[in-house]
């Protein structure tokens, strides 16, 4: 494989993107990692090493000219930029413009600038659950699962994923052939996870009681963010080494996290910090259904005067109560993926960040009160 390569990570300041950049900067065959993002996080430049420069370019993937300029001299693109909305509250046209339109721009710019290799960050939401809320238990990338996805986010990710995968073999401006693949993460935890932090703070405020909506019989996947990032990096490397194998393929993201339920994962994490946090409260479906519908009515009544914070909608509530999981080793078989971080390491790193984040919030609160 070539040395002194230039990688571009769209959305490199985001949750997954930042972890990808951090790993790429340590790879000796990469001389430059460019981050293309609509936000600027200057601290990410500190990932630069003696051999690899991390460069931040502020830009919007809906602007083709900005993308094209950023791709000058680039060898590989890892496209993570997206508008994420699991609560299904954002306008579809806005999400489509970024998730689908932005992906089309990335592809068009790659063709124009002779960039052969594209790894796309898709999502398990691109597959399902569907609008009939049919479960999938421990499926694989080859499992047949039909029907329209329920979430607008899933619809846009499915469309973008198809665009990227079907682009395999397309000729670039100078006759090179595109090699593409997609990674589908599911529920991700780790450093800078907003949901993990918010749930922890909620449990602390309830004397260590962890509240979960999902019933115990629901089966979902949980993967550490560092391993999701590592799978992207390995896939990008092997697109160049094994284009005939990886080209046009899709891979579910996985590692050795043993938990298949959110309450089990949170208990394992939070009890490392506070041994009191071992008790979990499961809210029954009927109660959540009632809360959600009452909230929806209140939100509608006050909408002329104020906008309430987004909450779980009835369709999203049904999705939460639907088993949708996978079990696969395809990434290992195709490009020898193994988790970079073990479950114990993933837990340790998450807990260290969680403790620090909580302390920072407490200190900020104290300083604010003193003022």
Helices (H) and strands (E) counted in the chain, each on its own, are: 13, 13
Question: Residue 250 and residue 60: Cα distance in Å, rounded?
Answer: 26
Q: Provide DSSP, 104-170.
A: HHHHHHHHHTT--EEEEE--GGGT--BTT---EEEE-TT----S-BSSHHHHHHHHHHHHHHHTTT-
CA max distance for the chain: 64
Provide the terminal-to-terminal Cα distance of the chain, rounded to the nearest Å: 57
Residues 172 and 72: their CA atoms lie apart, in Å, by 14
On the question of a cis peptide bond just before residue 129, with omega within 30 degrees of 0, the verdict is yes
Query: Is 153 one of the annotated active-site residues of the chain?
Result: yes
> Long-range contacts: 167-174, Cβ < 8 Å, 24+?
167/107, 167/118, 168/247, 168/248, 169/247, 169/248, 170/111, 171/111, 172/110, 172/111, 172/112, 172/113, 172/114, 172/115, 172/116, 173/111, 173/112, 173/113, 173/114, 174/114
Cα 318 to Cα 298: distance, rounded to the nearest angstrom? 20
Residue of 7, 120, 153, 326 marked catalytic = 153
Beta carbons of 90 and 307 less than 8 angstroms apart? no
Active site residues: 153
């Amino acid at each position: 494989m070539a040395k002194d390569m230039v990688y571009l990570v769209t959305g490199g300041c985001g949750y997954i993107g930042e972890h990808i950049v951090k790993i790429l900067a340590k790879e000796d065959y990469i001389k430059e990692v460019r981050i293309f993002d609509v936000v600027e996080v200057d601290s990410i430049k500190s990932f630069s090493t003696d051999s690899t420069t991390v460069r931040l370019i502020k830009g919007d993937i809906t602007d083709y000219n900005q993308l094209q300029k950023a791709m000058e001299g680039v060898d590989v693109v890892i496209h993570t930029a997206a508008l994420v909305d699991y609560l299904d509250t954002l306008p579809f046209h806005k999400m489509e413009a970024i998730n689908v339109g932005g992906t089309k721009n990335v592809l068009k710019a790659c063709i124009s600038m002779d960039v052969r290799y594209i790894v796309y960050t898709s999502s398990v939401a691109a597959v399902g659950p569907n609008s009939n809320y049919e479960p999938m238990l421990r499926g694989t990338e080859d499992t047949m699962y039909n029907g329209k996805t329920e979430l607008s986010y899933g619809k846009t990710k499915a469309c973008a994923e198809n665009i990227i995968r079907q682009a395999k073999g397309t000729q670039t401006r100078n006759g090179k052939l595109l090699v593409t693949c997609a990674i589908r993460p599911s529920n991700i935890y780790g450093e800078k996870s907003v949901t993990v932090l918010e749930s922890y703070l909620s449990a602390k405020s309830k004397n260590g009681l962890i509240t979960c909506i999902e019933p115990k019989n629901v089966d979902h996947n949980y993967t550490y963010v560092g391993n999701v990032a590592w799978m992207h990096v390995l896939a990008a490397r092997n697109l160049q080494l094994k284009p005939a194998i990886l080209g046009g393929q899709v891979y579910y993201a996985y590692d050795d996290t043993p938990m298949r339920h959110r309450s089990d994962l949170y208990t394992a994490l939070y009890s490392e910090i506070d041994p009191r946090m071992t008790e979990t409260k499961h809210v029954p479906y009927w109660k959540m259904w009632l809360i959600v519908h009452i909230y929806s009515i209140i939100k509608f009544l006050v909408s002329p005067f104020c906008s309430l914070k987004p909450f779980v909608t009835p369709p999203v509530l049904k999705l939460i109560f639907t088993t949708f999981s996978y079990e696969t080793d395809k990434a290992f078989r195709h490009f020898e993926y193994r988790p970079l971080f073990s479950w114990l390491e993933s837990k340790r790193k998450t807990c260290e960040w969680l403790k620090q984040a909580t302390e920072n919030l407490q200190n900020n609160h104290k300083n604010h009160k003193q003022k």
